[in-house]
Amino acid sequence: ILGFSTPPGRLSMMAFILNALTCALGLLYFIRRGKQCLDFTVTVHFFHLLGCWVYNSHFPSTLTWWLVHIVCIALMAAIGEYLCMRIELREIPLNSAPKSNV
C-alpha cells in the first residue's frame, strides 16, 4: 500500500511521517534524555517490525516500506534529540527563594 503513485499510498506515508513527529514529542515528555532518544526510537520501530511480521505472516520486503521506516527513524530520533537537548541545556536557576516586595 505504500507508494508514491497512489493517493492511499501517499496518505499512508504522510501518516507515518506525522507519527514520527508526534513520537518525537513523546520522547521529549517520557524520555527527557538526548542520549537515549535513538535507542528508544530503534526499539519502538523494531517492535513495529515484529508486529508487522507476525500480522502479515511474512517479513516486510518492499523497498518503500523500508525507506519510509528509515526516514521515520531518522526524523523521530533527530527531532526528539533536538527537543531533549533544548530542555537539558536550559539554565539552572540558582536563586530559588521567593522574591519579596520591599
Q: pLDDT, tens digit, for every residue of 50-91?
A: 999 999 999 999 898 899 999 999 999 999 999 999 988 887
**Which residues, 6+ apart, have CB-to-CB distance to 76 below 8 Å?**
20, 21, 23, 24, 27, 37, 41
Q: pLDDT, tens digit, for every residue of 31-59?
A: 888 889 999 999 999 999 999 999 999 99
For cell 501517499, what's the residue?
A: 10
Neighbours of 30 (CB within 10 A): 9
